[in-house]
Amino acid sequence: MNEVRYGVIGFGHQGGYYADIIKRSGDNYSSRVTAICDSNPSKRLEAKKLYPEVEIFDDYKSLIDSGLVDAILIETPHYFHPEIAIYAFKHHTHVLSDKPAGVYCKNVIEELEESKKHPELLFGTFFNQRTNPLYIKAKELINSDDFGQMTRLNWIITDWYRTQAYYDNGAWRGTFKGEGGGVLLNQCPHQIDLLAYFCGLPKKVTATIKTVGRNITVENDVTAILEYDNMVATFITSTHDAPGTNRLEFTGTGGKIVIEDNTIKFYKNSIKEDVFAVENKEFMSKPEVEEIIYSADEEDTEEMRKLKINFGSAQPQHLLIIKRFSDVLLGKEKTLYATGEDGLNELILSNAMHLSGWLNKTVTLPLDHDLFLKLLKERIEQEEK
């Protein structure tokens, strides 16, 4: 194999976007779109006009069975992600799925079990924020000896502002039947994935979930507390705050890391807190602190800088996910940015926040997946009344 032939399943906003950046990347990334699928006739017509050289299909099974693709990009509504991936694995096709991996963990676990029957096939998840140089740098810092043991994480991300007009744009929006959830399933999977990326999965989750100021049935306001063995994380998100905030803060024995406004500030303790607390003999003193600043542009790789010139500031993150997937298939790289297992871990956290909010109590991991699905179905039934 000297190039990867992709099939795009779902030619909506994201599917069209990915097809475009693969086409514009040319031969530089050894990738080509050879098939597109959408159940909507108008979308198929649009795809044919834009990509006359590409085969167009009206269902995903025909696309996968065609033999025209090595891998698929899944860009359909959330509920269909596991179903399509399972079919692809059974028919010897690599899978790169957009987020979230699905709506409920039980379905995604079945998807992972099928993928493990085919170890020769790649299973990736589209968590493009893993390519963000700020988060790469943050991961490097929190794993460093300078930062020490993490003791706290606080993330407030409330700049996903959405009006009622946004939810009225489609009947599926803002519903459990259409989306499976609100801000946790639509806007925040990337950030929830990063929580798992930085800290792993917690032992317990306590969350409040609310619907504030919008005529929708799903949540648009979440406050969650995640309890680990040696630390606590808080996660706050909404789509109704104006103006909103995006501030991520890590506290460790070696100092504090703050990510805000495209900048990382590392407040490095001169002496680690746990050592200072024992050895210091002065009343009401604190460790001296050095402030170290890293900007997003300074942390960009040379490849990222070139891509920003050609594709704009946001698109390189998405293209890098596809490029890495292709490079692993072609033997140029060994690991993906995010795997199918990472997709499940993100959904476990998301489902845990939902379940805690619905039950109004703390939930422990591993989750009761059957209970989650039962309560989700009850909410869908209530919408249909």
The mean pLDDT of 43-53, rounded to a whole number, is 97
Residue type, 301: T
Computed over every residue of the chain, the mean pLDDT equals 94
CATH number of 131-304: 3.30.360.10
Phi, psi of 12 (to 5 degrees): -85, -150
Tens digits of residue pLDDT in 274-293: 999 999 999 999 999 999 99
- 342-370 residues labelled b (16+ CB within 10 A) or e (exposed): bbbbbbbbbbbbbbbbbeeeebeeebebe
Equal fold, 4-129+309-336 vs 131-304: no
CA distance 212 to 229: 33
Band (297; pLDDT cuts 50, 70, 90):
confident
Q: Which CATH class is domain 4-129+309-336?
A: alpha beta
pTM of the model: 0.94
Tens digits of residue pLDDT in 224-282: 999 999 999 999 999 999 999 999 999 999 999 999 999 999 999 999 999 999 999 99
CA distance 28 to 323: 9
Among 242, 180, 238, 173, smallest CA distance to 208 is for 238
The mean pLDDT of 353-382, rounded to a whole number, is 98
User: Can you give the pLDDT at residue 315?
Assistant: 61
Domain ranges of the chain: 4-129+309-336, 131-304
Band (296; pLDDT cuts 50, 70, 90):
confident
User: Can you give the pLDDT at residue 27?
Assistant: 64
Residue 82 contacts residue 89 (beta carbons within 8 Å): no
User: Can you give the pLDDT at residue 299?
Assistant: 63
The mean pLDDT of 127-153, rounded to a whole number, is 95
DSSP letter (8 states) at residue 77: -
